[in-house]
Chains A and B, each alone.
Chain A
Amino acid sequence: MSVSQETETRSGADSVLRLDGIVKRYDDVVALDGVTLTVSGNEYVSLLGPSGSGKTSLLRVIAGFERPEAGRVHFRGADVTDVSPHQRGIGFVFQNFALFPHMSVLKNVTYGLVNADEGAVSAEVAERRARAMLEMVGLSGLESRGVDQISGGQKQRVALARTLVKEPQLVLLDEPLGALDANLRARMRNELRTIRKELGVTFLHVTGSESEALAMGDRVAVLDRGRVLQFGAPGTVYDAPSTPNVARFLNRYNLFAGSLHPDGGFEGPFGKVAAPRVQPADEALYGIRYDRVTVEPENTAADAPALHATFRASEYLGSSVIYFFETDAGKIVESEHHMSLGTPPEYRAGARYTLRWKPEHAIVFG
């Protein structure tokens, strides 16, 4: 499944945003290297990428703060590449919130309504709409507070309300949960999804966290070195990463280097095994998801694929436990046990075990 194919099937009349070969350079550094992406109306898209993948640059190009060297940005069917940000009508929620420090919560939210070059409304209308929006994000009663007198989570909501009150069809969120503590992050995840659904707008949410991307997005786009590697439903991306790097960013796969034979077998640290699912790639890599790896007492029964490894440590995650094993070659292999499958087994540190999985569960690149 290639990116362009999937994009085309979605690029109907309902597309809100269409990016066409966006290229952005900063001096000699290529931040965006031909990004093509189509986002529909009323959907939550998360954009996953490691730092330096160009995800913030992409948002800034879409918002109009940066001008691409090549490629076009289409918004609601019109080419907006040369339109100034204040005339685009695309909402942007900044990572550091970027609230107006000298204004109250209410004034922050009414600013865009009263001061817009086009479609400004009267102060009374603006205040009514701002109060309604503040109620929606759960900030009623804080209207007259200064923005330096509220907590991080509340600032996040003000930033959101300030953008949403303009009723944009597309809202860009630049790592919106990055500045919040873990507790609040979990709560805001739900709220962001609820608020978006209620308003029926499209969210494009940039994040470096794979769990956040998978949990939030109706669709997930994986960005690496200025290119979209994969764009699809979270389940598809999770189950069938399209490139070795997607598998790496998901942080859920044990990856082994090796070589792919013309007969279809893969030769890795576990010997030569069958490779039923092969993805064309320029790197030969064998991937098996943590939760597909089963642990058995050490035995030599030759039922490949299998790896002999020493148990090192485990990590309790609440809904699952991750076990860390070290192979004789010194590579760490992880196995995940979901709590729903029963009480997690206990292993002896330093003892040897055999790790096994089904060949059809592996994803092979080459």
Chain B
Amino acid sequence: MTETSTASGAAGTLPRQKTDSTAWLLITPGVIWMTLFLVAPILMILYVSFWTQTTFAINPTPTLESWRDFFTSQTYMNALWTTVRIWLIVLAATLLVGYPAALFIGIFVRSRILSISLLIVCVIPFWTSFLIRVLAWRPMLGREGAINILLQKFGITSAPIDALLFSELSVVIGMTQIYVVFMVGPIAFMLSRIDRNVIEAARDLGAGFGRIFTRIILPLSLPGVVVGAIFVSVMVLGEFATSAALSGRQVNLLGNIIVTQVGSLKWAFASVVGVVLTVIIGIVIAMLLRVVDLKREL
């Protein structure tokens, strides 16, 4: 009797121990990878940002000089505000362009196959490299570019518009085109999960499209908006290539500063900018996650 009960007791705990050890085994490669290549580098950046930088060398004597430089320099503060401004504009633009597209794909297209095909169409630009997608805007927006030629041909403008390329506008246009798909995807996914009967029920209860949109569709798609906004924000805040290629060095983002500083071996200063950027992105994600409880919604 005692024997059997011990045996059953052991049998009861064994599977549990096994699942525990299996769980640890499963997570180990990920933990090692993230520790070596994400956590350690970030801590290293934070550490290096307090090192002493001289023109040609860097040594680990702790100092706040790089930090002081960053926050007292007009150029760098301007870059900070430009980054925030471009981020907000691109976020709004991707939402403005992306939400209606997602609404069309997720709600108005009735065929599942067609809506998936349309999502794939959105991804087609990604079949070429990032740099080509960015550079492709030059022949579009340039002084002699496609848009200016068309505008003049149809007599809408008499002279080419110079502001199209190498300006903040061209950076916003380029970024919106590149990142809008990250907004469309999550929103279309959430919208396609809305039970059609729920929308029909709202119609049957006398609500027109406006009320159905604001009270039913929009709230139910909010998690998709938040996920899309996180994707776009993270990528835009860390951007440097689009502004480098399309702004003609007129738009300096924090990302561009990091590239320049690293290029001139100013590691400590580049680290300061990196830490500032990481903190900003962290704050943005935290704020966006406050909008909806993703754990509950997904």
- Bound complex: CA A168 to CA B224 (Å): 36
Q: Tell me whether chain A's interface is mostly helix, strand or loop, or mixed.
A: loop
Q: Tell me whether chain B's interface is mostly helix, strand or loop, or mixed.
A: helix
B298 contacts chain A at the CB level, 8 A cutoff: no
Contact status B206-A89, CB under 8 Å: yes
Closest CB in chain B relative to A39 CB, distance in Å: 18
A residues less than 8 Å from B220 (CB atoms): 101-102
B288 contacts chain A at the CB level, 8 A cutoff: no
Contact status A85-B211, CB under 8 Å: no
Instruction: Pick the interface stretch among A90-98, A206-214, A219-227.
Output: A90-98
Closest CB in chain B relative to A98 CB, distance in Å: 4
B202 contacts chain A at the CB level, 8 A cutoff: yes
Quick one: closest A residue to B208, CB to CB? Answer: A117
A163 contacts chain B at the CB level, 8 A cutoff: yes
B residues less than 8 Å from A120 (CB atoms): 206
Contact status B202-A100, CB under 8 Å: yes
B139 contacts chain A at the CB level, 8 A cutoff: no
Q: Select the residue from A63, A100, A101, A119 with max chain B CB neighbours within 10 A.
A: A100
- Bitwise, A145-166 to B at CB < 8 A (1) or not (0) is 0000000000000000011001
B136 contacts chain A at the CB level, 8 A cutoff: no
Contact status A85-B215, CB under 8 Å: no
- CB-contact partner of B206 in A65, A86, A94, A101, under 8 A: A86
A115 contacts chain B at the CB level, 8 A cutoff: yes
- Bound complex: CA A99 to CA B201 (Å): 8
Contact status A96-B219, CB under 8 Å: no
Contact status A111-B202, CB under 8 Å: yes
Closest CB in chain A relative to B218 CB, distance in Å: 10
- Bitwise, A118-152 to B at CB < 8 A (1) or not (0) is 11100000000000000000000000000000000
Q: Could you list which residues of chain B lie within 8 angstroms of chain A, going by C-beta atoms?
A: 195, 197-198, 200-208, 211-212, 215-216, 219-220
29 examples of A-B residue contacts, CB within 8 angstroms: A63-B200, A65-B203, A65-B204, A86-B204, A87-B206, A92-B200, A98-B195, A98-B200, A99-B198, A100-B198, A100-B201, A101-B220, A102-B219, A111-B215, A112-B202, A112-B205, A112-B207, A115-B202, A115-B205, A115-B206, A115-B207, A115-B212, A116-B207, A117-B206, A118-B206, A120-B206, A162-B205, A163-B205, A166-B206
- 4 smallest CB-CB distances across A and B, nearest first, come from A112-B205, A116-B206, A98-B197, A115-B211
Assuming A98-B195, A166-B205, what are 13 further A-B pairs, CB within 8 angstroms?
A63-B204, A65-B200, A86-B205, A90-B204, A92-B204, A99-B198, A100-B198, A100-B202, A100-B215, A112-B202, A112-B207, A115-B205, A163-B205
